[in-house]
Chains A and B, each alone.
Chain A
Protein backbone atom coordinates (compact mmCIF):
# COMPACT_ATOMS: atom_id res chain seq x y z
CA UNK A 1 0.00 0.00 0.00
CA UNK A 2 1.30 3.45 -0.96
CA UNK A 3 2.10 5.31 2.23
CA UNK A 4 3.74 8.33 3.76
CA UNK A 5 4.46 7.56 7.40
CA UNK A 6 5.23 10.18 10.01
CA UNK A 7 6.40 9.66 13.58
CA UNK A 8 5.57 10.64 16.19
CA UNK A 9 1.90 11.43 15.55
CA UNK A 10 1.57 13.28 18.84
CA UNK A 11 4.28 14.86 20.97
CA UNK A 12 4.48 17.28 23.87
CA UNK A 13 8.00 18.53 24.51
CA UNK A 14 9.79 21.31 26.35
CA UNK A 15 11.48 24.41 24.98
CA UNK A 16 15.02 23.77 23.82
CA UNK A 17 14.92 19.98 23.75
CA UNK A 18 15.98 18.81 20.30
CA UNK A 19 13.52 16.62 18.48
CA UNK A 20 13.18 14.90 15.12
CA UNK A 21 9.98 14.09 13.27
CA UNK A 22 10.58 11.26 10.85
CA UNK A 23 8.94 10.87 7.45
CA UNK A 24 9.21 7.83 5.24
CA UNK A 25 7.57 6.96 1.91
CA UNK A 26 7.45 3.61 0.14
CA UNK A 27 6.71 4.83 -3.39
CA UNK A 28 10.25 5.67 -4.57
CA UNK A 29 9.24 9.33 -4.89
CA UNK A 30 11.82 11.96 -5.78
CA UNK A 31 9.98 14.92 -4.26
CA UNK A 32 9.32 15.28 -0.53
CA UNK A 33 8.29 18.26 1.55
CA UNK A 34 7.28 19.42 5.01
CA UNK A 35 4.42 21.75 5.91
CA UNK A 36 3.06 23.21 9.09
CA UNK A 37 -0.58 24.11 9.50
CA UNK A 38 -1.82 26.76 11.90
CA UNK A 39 -5.33 28.19 12.40
CA UNK A 40 -5.97 31.11 10.08
CA UNK A 41 -2.65 30.64 8.27
CA UNK A 42 -3.25 27.49 6.28
CA UNK A 43 -0.53 25.12 5.14
CA UNK A 44 2.90 26.71 4.90
CA UNK A 45 5.86 24.96 3.33
CA UNK A 46 8.92 24.60 5.56
CA UNK A 47 11.40 22.74 3.34
CA UNK A 48 11.26 20.59 0.26
CA UNK A 49 13.59 18.18 -1.51
CA UNK A 50 13.74 17.37 -5.20
CA UNK A 51 15.97 14.32 -4.69
CA UNK A 52 18.67 12.81 -2.50
CA UNK A 53 21.03 15.46 -1.09
CA UNK A 54 18.96 18.27 -2.68
CA UNK A 55 16.95 20.43 -0.28
CA UNK A 56 15.46 23.92 -0.55
CA UNK A 57 13.82 26.35 1.83
CA UNK A 58 10.10 26.91 1.66
CA UNK A 59 8.25 29.88 3.10
CA UNK A 60 8.94 29.30 6.81
CA UNK A 61 12.29 27.49 7.27
CA UNK A 62 13.49 29.38 10.36
CA UNK A 63 14.06 27.08 13.33
CA UNK A 64 14.00 23.90 11.23
CA UNK A 65 16.51 21.66 9.50
CA UNK A 66 16.05 18.76 7.14
CA UNK A 67 18.21 16.11 5.52
CA UNK A 68 17.73 13.80 2.54
CA UNK A 69 20.39 11.12 2.77
CA UNK A 70 18.12 8.42 1.36
CA UNK A 71 15.32 8.68 -1.14
CA UNK A 72 12.65 7.27 1.15
CA UNK A 73 13.35 9.37 4.27
CA UNK A 74 13.04 13.11 4.92
CA UNK A 75 13.31 13.90 8.65
CA UNK A 76 12.40 17.29 10.08
CA UNK A 77 14.71 18.46 12.85
CA UNK A 78 13.94 21.08 15.47
CA UNK A 79 17.30 21.82 17.09
CA UNK A 80 15.90 24.06 19.83
CA UNK A 81 12.09 24.00 19.76
CA UNK A 82 10.16 27.05 20.90
CA UNK A 83 6.46 27.48 21.74
CA UNK A 84 5.81 29.20 18.40
CA UNK A 85 6.63 25.90 16.72
CA UNK A 86 3.57 24.32 18.28
CA UNK A 87 1.66 23.21 15.21
CA UNK A 88 0.31 20.38 13.07
CA UNK A 89 3.01 19.14 10.72
CA UNK A 90 2.51 17.27 7.45
CA UNK A 91 5.02 15.44 5.31
CA UNK A 92 4.22 14.93 1.63
CA UNK A 93 5.76 13.17 -1.34
CA UNK A 94 5.27 12.77 -5.08
CA UNK A 95 7.05 11.73 -8.23
CA UNK A 96 9.19 14.39 -9.86
CA UNK A 97 7.09 17.53 -10.36
CA UNK A 98 6.52 18.02 -14.05
CA UNK A 99 6.04 14.31 -14.68
CA UNK A 100 2.38 13.41 -15.16
CA UNK A 101 2.35 11.28 -12.03
CA UNK A 102 4.11 14.07 -10.16
CA UNK A 103 0.79 15.82 -9.84
CA UNK A 104 -0.47 13.30 -7.29
CA UNK A 105 0.89 14.38 -3.95
CA UNK A 106 0.56 12.01 -1.02
CA UNK A 107 0.35 13.40 2.51
CA UNK A 108 1.21 11.72 5.77
CA UNK A 109 -1.39 11.65 8.54
CA UNK A 110 0.13 14.59 10.38
CA UNK A 111 2.12 15.10 13.56
CA UNK A 112 0.67 17.20 16.37
CA UNK A 113 3.55 18.92 18.14
CA UNK A 114 3.20 20.99 21.32
CA UNK A 115 6.18 22.87 22.75
CA UNK A 116 5.75 24.10 26.32
Chain B
Protein backbone atom coordinates (compact mmCIF):
# COMPACT_ATOMS: atom_id res chain seq x y z
CA UNK B 1 0.00 0.00 0.00
CA UNK B 2 0.90 3.65 0.03
CA UNK B 3 1.02 6.34 2.67
CA UNK B 4 1.15 9.96 1.56
CA UNK B 5 1.15 12.70 4.19
CA UNK B 6 0.80 16.44 3.79
CA UNK B 7 -0.45 19.16 6.13
CA UNK B 8 -4.20 19.68 6.14
CA UNK B 9 -4.20 23.46 6.11
CA UNK B 10 -1.79 26.37 5.71
CA UNK B 11 -2.19 30.13 5.71
CA UNK B 12 0.18 32.64 4.12
CA UNK B 13 0.23 36.30 3.20
CA UNK B 14 -0.03 37.73 -0.29
CA UNK B 15 3.44 38.31 -1.74
CA UNK B 16 5.11 35.84 0.62
CA UNK B 17 6.67 32.41 0.00
CA UNK B 18 5.10 29.18 1.23
CA UNK B 19 6.44 25.62 1.28
CA UNK B 20 4.05 22.66 1.30
CA UNK B 21 5.65 19.39 2.36
CA UNK B 22 4.76 15.86 1.34
CA UNK B 23 6.16 12.62 2.71
CA UNK B 24 5.42 9.24 1.23
CA UNK B 25 5.96 5.52 1.59
CA UNK B 26 5.25 3.47 -1.52
CA UNK B 27 5.68 0.06 -3.05
CA UNK B 28 8.00 1.16 -5.83
CA UNK B 29 8.29 4.66 -7.20
CA UNK B 30 7.60 6.04 -10.68
CA UNK B 31 7.34 9.75 -10.04
CA UNK B 32 5.72 12.37 -7.84
CA UNK B 33 3.18 14.95 -8.98
CA UNK B 34 1.81 18.17 -7.57
CA UNK B 35 -1.66 19.38 -8.55
CA UNK B 36 -3.67 22.47 -7.74
CA UNK B 37 -7.39 22.16 -7.23
CA UNK B 38 -9.94 24.90 -6.68
CA UNK B 39 -13.13 23.88 -4.90
CA UNK B 40 -15.48 21.87 -7.14
CA UNK B 41 -13.09 21.93 -10.09
CA UNK B 42 -10.78 19.38 -11.66
CA UNK B 43 -7.15 19.18 -10.48
CA UNK B 44 -4.67 20.97 -12.71
CA UNK B 45 -1.09 19.82 -13.19
CA UNK B 46 1.68 21.84 -11.55
CA UNK B 47 4.84 19.72 -11.54
CA UNK B 48 6.41 16.30 -11.92
CA UNK B 49 9.58 14.94 -10.28
CA UNK B 50 11.12 11.54 -10.86
CA UNK B 51 14.78 12.33 -10.10
CA UNK B 52 16.16 13.98 -6.97
CA UNK B 53 16.45 17.71 -7.04
CA UNK B 54 14.57 20.88 -7.74
CA UNK B 55 12.30 21.57 -10.71
CA UNK B 56 11.44 25.23 -11.24
CA UNK B 57 8.55 26.53 -13.27
CA UNK B 58 7.82 30.23 -12.88
CA UNK B 59 6.53 31.00 -9.39
CA UNK B 60 6.29 27.30 -8.56
CA UNK B 61 9.13 24.91 -7.70
CA UNK B 62 9.06 21.31 -6.59
CA UNK B 63 11.77 19.33 -4.85
CA UNK B 64 12.20 15.57 -4.47
CA UNK B 65 14.40 13.38 -2.29
CA UNK B 66 13.69 9.73 -3.08
CA UNK B 67 15.93 8.39 -0.31
CA UNK B 68 13.94 10.37 2.27
CA UNK B 69 10.53 9.84 0.68
CA UNK B 70 10.07 13.59 0.73
CA UNK B 71 8.93 16.34 -1.58
CA UNK B 72 7.93 19.96 -1.25
CA UNK B 73 6.12 22.48 -3.39
CA UNK B 74 7.38 26.05 -3.12
CA UNK B 75 5.12 28.91 -4.13
CA UNK B 76 6.71 32.36 -4.45
CA UNK B 77 5.15 35.81 -4.70
CA UNK B 78 1.84 34.47 -3.49
CA UNK B 79 -1.30 35.84 -5.09
CA UNK B 80 -4.87 35.67 -3.82
CA UNK B 81 -5.75 33.30 -6.68
CA UNK B 82 -3.26 30.78 -5.24
CA UNK B 83 -5.81 30.00 -2.50
CA UNK B 84 -6.65 26.39 -3.35
CA UNK B 85 -5.95 22.82 -2.37
CA UNK B 86 -2.56 21.40 -3.33
CA UNK B 87 -2.41 17.69 -3.94
CA UNK B 88 0.70 15.51 -3.73
CA UNK B 89 0.42 12.29 -5.76
CA UNK B 90 2.82 9.36 -6.14
CA UNK B 91 2.91 6.85 -8.96
CA UNK B 92 3.96 3.41 -7.79
CA UNK B 93 5.72 0.60 -9.63
CA UNK B 94 2.40 -0.68 -10.98
CA UNK B 95 1.63 2.77 -12.42
CA UNK B 96 -1.29 3.38 -10.09
CA UNK B 97 -1.42 7.04 -9.05
CA UNK B 98 -2.23 7.69 -5.41
CA UNK B 99 -3.04 11.08 -3.95
CA UNK B 100 -2.50 12.56 -0.52
CA UNK B 101 -5.50 14.18 1.17
CA UNK B 102 -4.42 17.61 0.02
CA UNK B 103 -3.30 20.82 1.69
CA UNK B 104 -5.78 23.68 1.77
CA UNK B 105 -3.86 26.94 1.33
CA UNK B 106 -5.43 30.25 2.28
CA UNK B 107 -3.71 33.40 1.03
CA UNK B 108 -4.61 36.49 3.04
CA UNK B 109 -4.17 40.15 2.09
Contact = CB atoms under 8 A, between A and B. Distances in A.
Interface string B68-109: 000000000000000000010101001111111110000000
Majority DSSP secondary structure for residues of B touching A: loop
A105 B96 contact: no
B45 A104 contact: yes
A107 B99 CA distance: 14
Interface string A88-101: 10100000011000
A110 B40 contact: yes
A49 to B, nearest CB: 10
Interface of A: 31, 33, 35, 40-45, 48, 50, 56, 58-59, 88, 90, 97-98, 103-105, 107-110
Given A43-B102, A58-B96, 10 more contacts: A43-B43, A43-B99, A45-B98, A48-B97, A50-B95, A56-B94, A59-B98, A88-B40, A98-B95, A110-B41
